[in-house]
Chain A
Amino acid sequence: MRVLKLGLVRGLLGGIMGWLFGFALVIGARLALGLPAKWNPNLVADTSTVWRFLATAFAPYEPAMVVGAIFFAIGFMIGVGAVTDWLKWARGIETPFHHGARIPGTPEWARYFNVDYSHKVIGVQYGITGILLLGVGGTLAMIFRLQLAQPELNFVQPDAFNTMISAHGMIMIGAILLGVGAMSNYLVPLMIGANDMAFPRLNAFAFWINVPGALLLSSAMFIGGWNTGWTGYPPLSSQAPLGVQYFFLGVFFIGLSSILGSLNVIVTTITMRSPGMSLFRMPIFVWAAFATSIIQLTATQLIGLSFLMVLMQRIMGMGFFDPGGPVWYEVDKWVGGGNPILFQHLFWFYSHPAVYVFILPGLGIISELLPVFSRKPLFGYKWVAMSSMAIALVGFLVWAHHMFVSGMSNFLRVPFMMSTLLVAVPTGVKFFSWLGTLWGGRIEYKTPMLFALGAISVFLIGGLTGPPLGTVATDMNLTDTYFVVGHFHATMFGGFVFPFFAALYYWFPKATGRMYNERLGQLHFWLMTPAFWVMSLGQIFVGTHGMRRRIASYEFELGIGDAQMMVTIAGFVIFTSVLIMLANLFVLSWRAQRAGANPWRSRGLEWQVPSPMPEMTYATTPIVVGEPYDYGKPGSTYVQFAPAPLAPALGAGVTGGD
């Protein structure tokens, strides 16, 4: 049974056992109490096709399905071994920490399928899982874009269409969160000169809880799907098919990962910086990751709470969002009184700051790459650092702009409009800094730089379509049209996808020691960027011409068939170009030429050690003596290496007891 040595296989087995246990526990308790096994005896499985059978067979057992899913995650985490050390601590056994494979003698490739405490392994695990989810979400998009390519097609049935757009939305959000986790876990310790994160075991746990989360999220499509869109608003979600429960639980576990992972990033940034690295000598990406983590740590709890409330309303009849009976101020008995608007407040209190979680690390990557490829100092370092923090903090005050037309109190509209438009100020600071950095630089158009520039152009589309949506008067007309879809996809591509690809190309030689194929990289860029402009502007165009969101079909009379066809074709071009990148990085590069330690002539800490990096990245402690982005200034240095490993006392002395 060598395959059982792989943590992933053990985790899946443990998860299945846990699921069966949880399901049997609830059904067994019901039978023991003399109750029928089915909650709703009227629901009967439809055996006409396998698909229909899966979609209907589990619906009568909804509470047992929910408990089963929770035990699935617990069983998975025990099976994969993510909690082994903690269980040992509970029994008083100490587990000293060693860098390197956790189980001695594990081959290098197997470390990626096991629980491993190295932040580099975990970063790659995050990245690969994120790209896999990106593939799933992208494939779904390709399928329903075919349905939308022409008016009044009947290629995808409306129910399946609803499930697909909902799954596309949330799976992509999961993919983005994993991608953000990949960047912050891999890069933050490298950039601050630490050998690992502050809590390596928590880091491994935070990654692995994503796997049951992603599995539950994906399996929701097969047990009935759900038709609520990614937002899961009640009252629709409180009566949607069973799939919505697995969607909630999947999001719940991915959110748990967000919380724990960001906690780790914050503590690492505060406590593990190299001697001499004051806050304003940190690389700009670390600032971005720090600001992101503050949002993730706090706001994520509220999407968990809001989904949990709908989940409980469905299985326990707790009517948080069920208006029932008379309106609340007439209530003199305990009936009804629920309010769906409460869900929207709680939901958007996370989900709006969440878009800053998605974009801030990407914007940090752009600021990170521009100075390297322009050979100039970053323009306005402190302003850029502070703008990330400002976006994170202002982001907490703008959530209700998603609710201008949803029936919330009218007096809330104008304050939230103003705070929303305020976000443009720190974002504008970033744009000025990027332009100021590029101005007069000797720009090298390598693939990472191209993607950074592409990100700016695309993010500009997203940024400029923002104010019309944030302004009440125009939002009244644009809400729930494809204009919103165009705006959102432009910000996500400009804020996450393009910078993420730039980061993949940029750090790939550092991580693997091999250089990717520059020509294929350029091909990827020149396919993807124009295609994205077409797609984005096409979406905005059809939105202003009457195309609504979340509908499976539209009328000939709208006259937008050609534009929709362009959008679909552009989507397929983007999909293909990403496949080119995957081939370039993960297939062709194994025969590629070796990259040196510092192919980009970067000043960053991680570029001063060999590629690929050794297990202990910094065997000798780096000491920061200068500014991070002083490119082109003669005689300036950022980092020196101590002659020998520092003793604890000396280390504490140099940091000045931070």
Chain B
Amino acid sequence: MAAGTDTLHDSYQWQTRTNRLGFWLFFLSEVFIFGGLLVARFFLWGGTRPDLPQIPPLLLTVALLLSSFFMFRAEMAIATDDRKTFTRSLLLTAVLGSIFFLGVMFVEWGFTVENGQLVLGNHIKPTDGVYGAVFYGMTGLHALHVISGVIGILLVWNLGRKGHFSAERHWGVEATAIYWHYVDLVWVFFYPALYLIGTAVGHGH
């Protein structure tokens, strides 16, 4: 038979259920890489943490949690056929996500030039021993997920405003939404691990 179709496995319902299971397994897999970074943090930092400014990361955390709220709102909006709220909330999510990403890049990392060499580090540099290494490792991997989430949200927004999704068929929105919440969930653990737990150790230069 050159070509054929599989009626049982072609229905949107079946595919959505399967996709959802696959997506959650992907999350389970990612738990291990983020968990590995947390293990590295506690293994290398122990009961200490680098002494960093506290206000910017708090503001960024608020931005990320707010974006998660708007993402939920967007998903609920399309599930109940409220298109205007849907597209607006998606855009707000993307904006807040971008604020988080740019905030990490320019406030938390910062770019400076020393002796003609491009180096990262307003407050802390990647080369600052284990403190720099773990800090940049954790924020970097998380930021990578944030920026891919923002791209996904923009794609979904673009399709959404052209009427691609409906209350009955919006797996694309749901997938982006749970991915975004997952990124948020990871930050819920990373934020205290980086900024709150342990005694602050200063830069003894």
Contacts and interface: CB of A to CB of B under 8 A. Distances in A.
A adjacent to B, CB under 8 Å: yes
Interface of A: 33-35, 89-90, 92, 97-101, 194-196, 198-199, 202, 259, 263-264, 266-267, 270-272, 297-302, 304-306, 309, 312-313, 316-320, 322, 324-325, 328-329, 331-339, 342, 345-346, 349, 614-616, 619, 621, 645-648, 651
Nearest to A259: B29
Among A263, A322, A332, the one with the most B-chain Cβ atoms within 10 Å of its Cβ is: A263
21 contacts: A35-B117, A89-B172, A92-B158, A98-B5, A99-B1, A99-B4, A99-B6, A100-B1, A259-B29, A305-B33, A324-B129, A331-B48, A333-B202, A334-B128, A334-B132, A337-B130, A337-B131, A616-B4, A619-B4, A621-B8, A648-B8
A333 B29 contact: no
Contact of A335 (B4, B29, B116, B129): B129
Contacts of A305: 33, 36-37
B53 to A, nearest CB: 15
A331 B201 contact: yes
Interface stretch (B15-23, B69-77, B82-90, B183-191): B15-23
A319 B130 contact: yes
Nearest to A99: B4
Given A319-B133, A331-B201, A619-B4, A263 B26 contact: yes
Contact of B137 (A271, A312, A324): A312
Contacts, number: 180
Contact of A614 (B1, B124, B162): B1
Given A302-B33, A328-B46, A332-B202, A98 B3 contact: yes
A544 to B, nearest CB: 36
Interface in B136-190: 136-137, 155, 158-159, 162, 164, 172
A342 B43 contact: yes
Contacts of B11: 648
B32 A302 contact: yes
A299 B32 CA distance: 7
B6 to A, nearest CB: 5
Contact of B8 (A309, A320, A646): A646
Interface in B104-130: 113, 116-118, 124, 126-130
A324 B127 CA distance: 11
A198 B8 contact: no
B148 to A, nearest CB: 12
A305 B30 CA distance: 11
B40 interface: yes
A318 B126 contact: yes
Nearest to B119: A317
Given A299-B32, A313-B133, A320-B130, A263 B22 contact: yes
A97 B10 contact: yes
Nearest to B162: A92
Given A99-B4, A318-B137, A266 B32 contact: no
Contacts of B10: 97
Contacts of A98: 3-5
B40 A35 contact: no
Contacts of A302: 32-33, 36
Contacts of B159: 92
Contacts of B205: 333
B204 interface: yes
Given A298-B32, A338-B133, 16 more contacts: A35-B117, A99-B3, A198-B18, A198-B22, A267-B21, A267-B25, A317-B126, A319-B130, A333-B203, A333-B205, A334-B204, A336-B129, A337-B44, A339-B44, A342-B40, A345-B43
A41 to B, nearest CB: 13
B28 interface: yes
A198 B21 CA distance: 10
B18 to A, nearest CB: 5
B28 A271 contact: no
A313 B11 CA distance: 48
B1 A301 contact: no
A622 to B, nearest CB: 13
A259 B32 CA distance: 12
Among B37, B46, B136, B137, the one with the most A-chain Cβ atoms within 10 Å of its Cβ is: B137
Contacts of A198: 18, 22
B50 interface: yes
Given A35-B117, A318-B127, A334-B50, A616 B201 contact: no
A265 B12 CA distance: 20
A312 B136 CA distance: 10
A298 B22 contact: no
Contacts of A199: 18-19, 22
Contacts of B117: 35
Contacts of A100: 1-4
A320 B39 contact: no
Contacts of A616: 1, 4, 6
A195 B1 CA distance: 13
Contact of A297 (B29, B36, B162): B29
Given A270-B21, A328-B46, A320 B5 contact: no
B45 to A, nearest CB: 8
A93 B29 CA distance: 29
B134 interface: yes
Contacts of B202: 332-333
B127 A301 contact: no
A165 to B, nearest CB: 27
Contacts of B30: 301
A395 B201 CA distance: 38
Contacts of A619: 1, 4
> Which 7 pairs, one residue from A and one from B, show the smallest C-beta to C-beta distance?
A333-B204, A334-B128, A318-B133, A301-B33, A100-B3, A337-B130, A301-B32
Contacts of B5: 97-99
Contacts of A99: 1, 3-6
A616 B22 CA distance: 23
Contact of B44 (A259, A299, A325, A338): A338
B36 A267 contact: no
